[in-house]
Structure 1
Amino acid sequence: MADQYPLNIGSLRSQVNLTLHTHHAARIWLGRQQNDGKHGIPGLAGFCQKINQIDRGSAQDDPYSDWWMILIQEKIQESDNGLKAIDSRLDDVMAQLPKTLEVGENLSIQPMKLPLYLSNPLAFKAVYLLTGYDEVVRRVLLAQHVGMIGRRDGEAWIDEGAHLLRSLFGLAQQFRYSGATRDDFAANNARAEQAREMYARFDAIPQDILEGTRRSEFAPVIRRNQPAATEPDDLAEDDFHEGEE
């Protein structure tokens, strides 16, 4: 029997909120604007915008977008391993506390709260890194407070964690939409040549990525029937928003 009730179901939505307890993590989130002779430092918000551009390029069959998605996924894993290594050191340090001393978790009395609207899994993975860094900073400051490590060691570990995230964000900022598709490379036309020139300072794109046999597990479905963007700015609009309480 035919369905007498036509379906009219809207898009799925979920509410995601980020809470940060340290100024160090908040600075990583915000980045730094270029001014007074100081170069700008990309923050997590800028990283998420770049990830959206890469995602759109990947959906339009740009092999360089697919390549950058793989590079960023690998860099995220590398950064996660680095934060876990710092965390392991903190475990060793805090294990030396007297057994009769109980030390609670180090939390801000007025944390920074942000609603997140992210449209890409790699953006979420970067947020997970930031929350991991926030926890590392809290643990380092606590270890300093109870006299388990000195100020210099604490600052070095905090800076080490910040470098891991900023290195990831810096990698994403090097991405440029090539404007070429795999069909262009197969035809070896002007668009393909222009894309190669754009990425001339990098190593040659791996052949399996160029052919499309290797893509990130988070890569979007390729939509070849959509008109391709002609300029990088065509991919600049993003689905990312931020707010603060």
Structure 2
Amino acid sequence: MSSSTETLQLNLGSLRSTMSLTLHTHHASRIWHGRAASDGKPAIVGLNGYVAVMNRMKRGAEQDDPYSDWWMLRIEEKLNTTKDQLHTLREQVDQALAGLPSALSVGENLNVQPVKLPLFISSQLGFMALYLLADYDELARKLILAHHTALIDRSTLERWLNEGAHALRSLFSLAQQYRYSGCSRDDFVSMNAAGRAAIEKFGTLPQDVLDGTRRSRFAPPVIRRSVSSSSPPRRSATAEPAPVSPDSEPEPPSEETSDDAGDSSAGEGGDE
């Protein structure tokens, strides 16, 4: 009986759930998709591009890359700042809507044909940005209603919509600067060629980030691969691997194991 139970447990796969996001405004939809470069205009990354970066960043942190940990901390801080900015805008809109007379009953402003987007997100920092986009969609609906009912003028409508959109795009733009270093903390302990090249290319890190004592609250456990004939050993503190080329931008290895059975999917971004 015990052998049968162990076999059953070993055959269990990862948990998955189907998720989707419903958007009611073109303003939020444009932020989701971003904009491709054309006619001399630079590309604007959307939420789906941001999510892809967050998934790579999470894998980099799993590989013990201290730069990925540092970027997770920076993104988490930027997420909190963006949340505060949207909260301030929402308070202003609510104050404007409070000007409706009590005798007037106004229902929620919803699109008769909203867009429903499937979600493939495997990082918590990706979900946090998703919540902010949902907040912005609600904010845009309220702003459009306030303008329609003559509580705010056109210039105020456009200014507040642009402020909210700029806050989100600033977050996505910051995420686009992330690069996986291709190194682990062992490379910095021994200060080998790979570690020296990474410092020259990406700069120095705070000591508490470098030694792993300060990580994002959503940082994944570091994957410790066992040495076997089928997989290469993890770099030792005395090893001298090939240096990281200043012109190369390595990608974090693909996930081989799942540390979080609650991830919605292993995909790298939402479909457009």
1:168 matched to which residue of 2? 171
1:32–1:41 CA contact under 8 A, matched in 2: yes
Quick one: distance in 1 between partners of 2:21 and 2:141?
Answer: 16
Matched, 1:29 2:44: no
Instruction: Indicate which of 183, 186, 189 corresponds to 2:186.
Output: 183
2:239 matched to which residue of 1? none
Instruction: Work out the percentage of aligned pairs sharing the same amino acid.
Output: 50
Instruction: Give the CA deviation at 1:199.
Output: 1.7
What amino acid maps onto 2:210 in structure 1? L
Distance 1:206 1:241, change over 3 A: closer
Quick one: distance in 2 between partners of 1:100 and 1:210?
Answer: 61
The TM-score with structure 1 as length reference comes to 0.92
1:120 matched to which residue of 2? 123
1:44–1:126 CA contact under 8 A, matched in 2: yes
2:222 matched to which residue of 1? 222
The Cα offsets for residues 5-51 of structure 1, whole Å up to 9 and x where unpaired, read as 54132321111110011111011000111111111111001101101
Quick one: distance in 1 between partners of 2:207 and 2:14?
Answer: 37
The Cα offsets for residues 175-221 of structure 1, whole Å up to 9 and x where unpaired, read as 11111111111111111121112224xxx421100110011111111
Alignment of 1:54-203 (within 5 A): 54-200=57-203
What amino acid maps onto 1:69 in structure 2? M
Give the secondary-structure state (helix, strand or coil) at the position aligned to 1:113: strand
What amino acid maps onto 2:267 in structure 1? D
1:33–1:40 CA contact under 8 A, matched in 2: yes
The Cα offsets for residues 82-113 of structure 1, whole Å up to 9 and x where unpaired, read as 10100001111111111111111111111110
Quick one: distance in 2 between partners of 1:14 and 1:195?
Answer: 38
Alignment of 1:36-51 (within 5 A): 36-51=39-54
Distance 1:233 1:195, change over 3 A: closer
Instruction: Give the CA deviation at 1:140.
Output: 0.5
Give the secondary-structure state (helix, strand or coil) at the position aligned to 1:235: coil
What amino acid maps onto 1:225 in structure 2? R
Quick one: distance in 2 between partners of 1:10 and 1:180?
Answer: 30
1:62–1:180 CA contact under 8 A, matched in 2: yes
Give the secondary-structure state (helix, strand or coil) at the position aligned to 1:164: helix
1:242 matched to which residue of 2? 270
Instruction: Give the CA deviation at 1:234.
Output: 3.4
1:116–1:240 CA contact under 8 A, matched in 2: no
Instruction: Indicate which of 28, 38, 56 corresponds to 1:53.
Output: 56
Distance 1:122 1:213, change over 3 A: same
What amino acid maps onto 2:268 in structure 1? F
1:205 matched to which residue of 2? 205
2:262 matched to which residue of 1? none
1:21–1:108 CA contact under 8 A, matched in 2: yes
Pairwise CA RMSD of aligned residues?
2.0
* Alignment size in residue pairs: 241
1:119–1:239 CA contact under 8 A, matched in 2: yes
Quick one: distance in 1 between partners of 2:218 and 2:165?
Answer: 25
Give the secondary-structure state (helix, strand or coil) at the position aligned to 1:114: strand
What amino acid maps onto 1:75 in structure 2? K
Uncovered stretches (5+) of structure 1, i.e. residues with no partner: none
2:31–2:46 CA contact under 8 A, matched in 1: yes
Quick one: distance in 2 between partners of 1:119 and 1:85?
Answer: 29
Give the secondary-structure state (helix, strand or coil) at the position aligned to 2:45: coil
Instruction: Give the CA deviation at 1:154.
Output: 0.7
Uncovered stretches (5+) of structure 2, i.e. residues with no partner: 227-231, 235-243, 255-265
